[in-house]
Structure 1
Amino acid sequence: MKAKRILGIKLLLSIVLVASSISCSKKSSSSNTSRATGWNMDSKKGSSSKKQQAGPGLVFVEGGTFTMGKVQDDVMHDWNNSPTQQHIQSFYMDETEVTNSMYLDYLEWLKSVYPPNEQIYKNIYEGASPDTLVWRNRLGYNETMTNNYLRHPAYADYPVVGVNWIQAVEFSNWRTQRVNEALLEKNGYLKKDAKTLDVSAESNFDTETYLNSPTSAYGGNEEIVLKGSKSGKKAPKAGKDGVVVEPKNVYAQRSSGILLPEYRLPTEAEWEYAAAADVGQREYNIYKGQKKYPWNGGYTRSGKRQTKGDQLANFKQGNGDYGGIAGWSDDGADITNEVKKYPANDFGLYDMAGNVAEWVQDVYRPIIDNEANDFNYFRGNMYTKNKIGPDGKIEIVTKDNMKYDTLSNGRVVARNFPGQIAQVPIDEQETYLRQNFDKSDNVNYRDGDRQSTRYYKLADAESDDSKNASDKLMYNSPKHNVTTDSLGNMVRNYDKSSKRTTLINNESRVYKGGSWRDRAYWLDPAQRRYFPQDMATDYIGFRCAMSRVGPKAEQKRSPRN
């Protein structure tokens, strides 16, 4: 009996030892060696990859399926929003709209790096500045906002307006560079304070340039890159035989897990999904109905005891009523309001209805083509690639080959900046025999291209639509243009043709949400409108989003509801 007990104890110990060795082996396999080859990793701790951290100002939005489009009566008879079932991947979105103070940070950076008093850079600062004249009204006195709204500290935390879609995209790109630059400095890959002390027009940071050609970052100034606390420790050293050993891992890479994906405008589907926040009506694995507004309930007023009767958003109450009477303001504002003045929705996002409407990425079309795609829906793809120079290396933009665009309203804006990688449209090298796309410009796909019109027989696969008759297009919008005369003066020409049939074109961008100028009807997240991408108003602002890499959820699903 005693022998059996000893044998049992030995057997149990052997099982424990085998299990622990297996667990150690598993741990070793996942942390110190490659699961594919068994080779040792480049560090004692294995891969330096990590889960994505939320960027400054961002809130996590877990993706899922939802009904995109409105299920209410279409009283405006737009017929542009039939409900479709869509799925959105998880992403991050700004907690609030971009404020005046945030945008002024951008303008101050541009002013210091690209001095507007230098002829070559004079259009950069002006092209990024919001249009403060949007506040003017032929029969209204709004000069106070025209002169003060953007820069007065009283409006610092109010949403920026007067910004067109192009400016919003450029702000998002600038924000990407500044955030990643700070992350590299924090992790010891850049010289401390270089982002403020050593930056100039010819020496500034771009994420893609750093990843593709790190020696070209900061205009090729390796002093900035190689004097980071981490990079400095890996400087070239003499080996045992006097041979100089080149440093390894001096530069951060995408595999380092340090750099964040780009800040960008949210897609229309992402914005609508985040605004509706149906997760607040979830019961187990279904949504109990669809919200009319970003908050629960079918009314715009609070039903809570402490705030009963208060409006939950900033919008126009009725004709000549933008905020109630003196001493009893319904929503606390008559124009825009400070961000975070109203409750957040179930994703923790503020002002997804009211305050200002918001730009999204998409080009406008009257339908959402769910037959073509129902996953991460987006219209507006323009595929490009890095430009390769005659020497076989990627071409970096300099002050001498910067490009500017003249917009339809005559405003001049920079299309690229020194330090960025020059981009060109993809060509047959990327599209030959490919099934998922066959050209660079996919804005018109299935809705606007020649193949989707009754003139489809005129479409020539080897020629661009613009080479065909301009009047035989699905969206035959006015074509204003700006030219220069022999003296270099701008000549603004209006399209006076009587054959134009629509205002929709490839430069029409969607904006979502109601604003301080809108009635409650437009507070529904499903509502959609459009506006020219190079024009601005006093009621459209924007917020940024960022794609999520890695797992869908931040934590495992609870077994309980």
Structure 2
Amino acid sequence: MIRIPKLKFGGLFFFILLIASSSCKKNIGSTKTAELKDSVEVKAPSMEAPEGMVWIPGGNFVQGAVTNDKMAMSHERPAHRVSVDGFFMDEHEVTNAQFAEFVKETGYVTVAERKIDWEEMKKQLPEGTPKPHDSILQPGSLVFKKTKSSVPNLYDYSQWWEWRIGADWSHPSGPNSSIDGKENDPVVHIALEDALAYCKWAGRRLPTEAEWEYAARAGKTDALFFWGDDIDVLQNYANSWEGEFPVNNSQEDGYERLAPVMSYPKNDFGLYDMAGNVWEWTNDWYNSNYYTELANKNETTKNPKGATKAFNASNPYAIEKVIKGGSFLCSASYCASYRISARMATSPDSGMEHLGFRTVLSP
């Protein structure tokens, strides 16, 4: 059974007060990619692919930033050798329509829709943290907002994130919005607990970080992106931010915010939207030391499950999971996370307008 963390409110509170994340700092690492060619096992699964899923044959690959990636962040290094068994994976991100079916059958209420319990929240915060005003402690989620002018400091995320009461998966922009006509958009404002509940209902699980990255790479050794190395064709392959972030999106890719799933070409494994559109949950704890620990073993790690506990060197209070794939907000000036090795850490108790998920199944 996938572990559901006990922390359900602390990260949410930090989002409300700070509207910040710790992962898009543009530090350039220097570790070179390990010398190992990717290999894919041509092995048929023991069952037919469930509807909407594709078979990902197992194999070896180098996880982490490739040698020629000038945009890589330090936490994408050092690269290390990994082997994964074959698995089935959703060909696209879970959609509003799919999530709505789950909610209809189970009556499930997402984290963003639940009343906030201050007594429970404060147990997980530094002692003496003052209680916010009741007008703030209301169910809601983080919604992106464009700025009116250029932003000189791209580390101050509060400039383009707004805590909006009433924002949730069925009201993605706030209480007056809906998902009518957006049934094929990826579902967003999904906390980890919500994704795990859907997985349990569907008989699936979340991918490990290694599985996700292996599936995104699809055998393309040393490629920056799932389509190759050409950044000039980005708008043809991913929903990202073109223009000056976060002021103006020129929409060269056809969309300003979310795009319906399968709007762009699939990768060589038959997977859509493995770059841009929405970030996707994995089951791995984010730990600043984990990649170094694997690399120091100097051997191929078989089916890594991630760190045993969360740790973020830049934020000792953070309890975070790894998310992958980038979103419609990613731009060359702001973390460029449409790259295969890109990763980010986020609190498991919080959803956002650019965070969704897809599921996997082991045969």
Q: Per the shorter chain, which TM-score range?
A: 0.5 to 0.7
Structure 1 residue ranges without an equivalent (≥5): 1-49, 112-123, 177-262, 282-288, 303-309, 381-442, 449-474, 478-500, 549-561
Closer, same or farther: CA 504–527 of 1 in aligned 2, 3 Å: farther
Contact kept? 1:63, 1:90, Cα under 8 Å:
yes
Once residues 68 and 126 of structure 1 are traced to their aligned partners in structure 2, the CA distance between those partners, rounded to angstroms, is 33
Shift of 1:507: 3.2
Question: Hey, what's the Cα distance between the residues in 1 that align with 2:279 and 2:186?
Answer: 10
Distance 1:60 1:107 in 2: 27
1:90 Cα offset (Å): 0.6
- Residue in structure 2 matched with residue 133 of structure 1 by the alignment: 141
Q: Counterparts of 1:158 and 1:353 in 2: how far apart (Å)?
A: 15
**Aligned-pair CA distance for 1:298:** 2.1
Question: In the aligned structure 2, how far is the partner of 1:292 from the partner of 1:541?
Answer: 23
Residue type of the alignment partner of 2:262: K
Deviation at 1:54, TM superposition (A): 1.6
In structure 1, what residue type is equivalent to 2:99?
Y
Letter in 2 for 1:81: R
Partner SS state of residue 244, structure 2: coil
Tell me if 1:295 matches 2:224: no
Look up the SS of the partner of 1:135 in the other structure: strand
Question: Higher helix share goes to which structure?
Answer: 1
Tell me by how many angstroms 1:299 deviates: 2.2
Q: Deviations over 1:422-456 (max 9, x none)?
A: xxxxxxxxxxxxxxxxxxxxx24xxx7xxxxxxxx
Aligned to 1:221: none
Aligned to 1:528: 343
1:407-434 Cα distance to aligned partner (Å, 9 max, x none): xxxxxxxxxxxxxxxxxxxxxxxxxxxx
Residue 55 of structure 1 pairs with residue 50 of structure 2 = yes
Gap runs ≥5 in structure 2 = 1-44, 115-138, 146-157
Specify whether residues 322 and 63 from structure 1 end up closer, same or farther in structure 2 by C-alpha distance, changes over 3 A only. Answer: farther
Identical columns (%): 28
Q: 1:156 Cα shift?
A: 0.9
The counterpart of 2:207, out of the listed 266, 269, 273, is 266
1:297 deviation in Å? Answer: 3.7
Q: 2:361 aligns with which of 523, 529, 546?
A: 546
TM-score by length of 1: 0.43
Q: Does 1:360 align with 2:282?
A: yes
Alpha-carbon distance in structure 2 between the residues aligned to 1:76 and 1:293: 12
Instruction: Measure, in 2, the Cα distance between the counterparts of 1:354 and 1:537.
Output: 15
Check the 8 A contact 2:81/2:300 in 1, yes or no: no
For 2:140 and 2:54, the matched residues in 1 are separated by: 30
- Counterparts in 2 of 1:373 and 1:85: CA distance versus 1, 3 Å: closer
Alpha-carbon offset, residue 78 of structure 1:
2.6
**In the comparison of the two structures, how many residue pairs are matched?**
265
TM-score w.r.t. structure 2 length?
0.65
- Pair 1:83 & 2:111 matched: no
Deviation at 1:315, TM superposition (A): 0.5
Give matches, 1:398-409, under 5 Å.
none
Distance 1:264 1:359 in 2: 11
Which deviations, in whole Å up to 9, do the C-alpha atoms of 1:279-326 show, x marking residues without a partner?
A: xx5xxxxxxx42111113422417xxxxxxx532110123146642xx
**Which of 322, 326, 345 is the equivalent residue of 1:514?**
326
Do the aligned residues in 1 keep the contact of 2:65 with 2:76 (CA within 8 Å)?
no
Q: Distance in 1 between matches of 2:186 and 2:103?
A: 15
- 1:312 maps to 2:237: yes
* CA displacement, residues 432-486 of structure 1 (integer Å, 9 cap, x when unaligned): xxxxxxxxxxx24xxx7xxxxxxxxxxxxxxxxxxxxxxxxxx5x8xxxxxxxxx
Answer with 1 or 2: which has the greater Rg: 1
Which amino acid is 1:173 matched to? K
- What amino acid is aligned across from residue 60 of structure 1 in structure 2? W
Q: Which moved more, 1:138-147 or 1:503-512?
A: 138-147
Q: Partner of 2:174 in structure 1?
A: 146
Compared with structure 1, are the counterparts of its residues 503 and 54 closer, same or farther at alpha carbon in structure 2 (3 Å cutoff)?
Answer: same
Alignment partner of 1:511: what SS?
A: strand
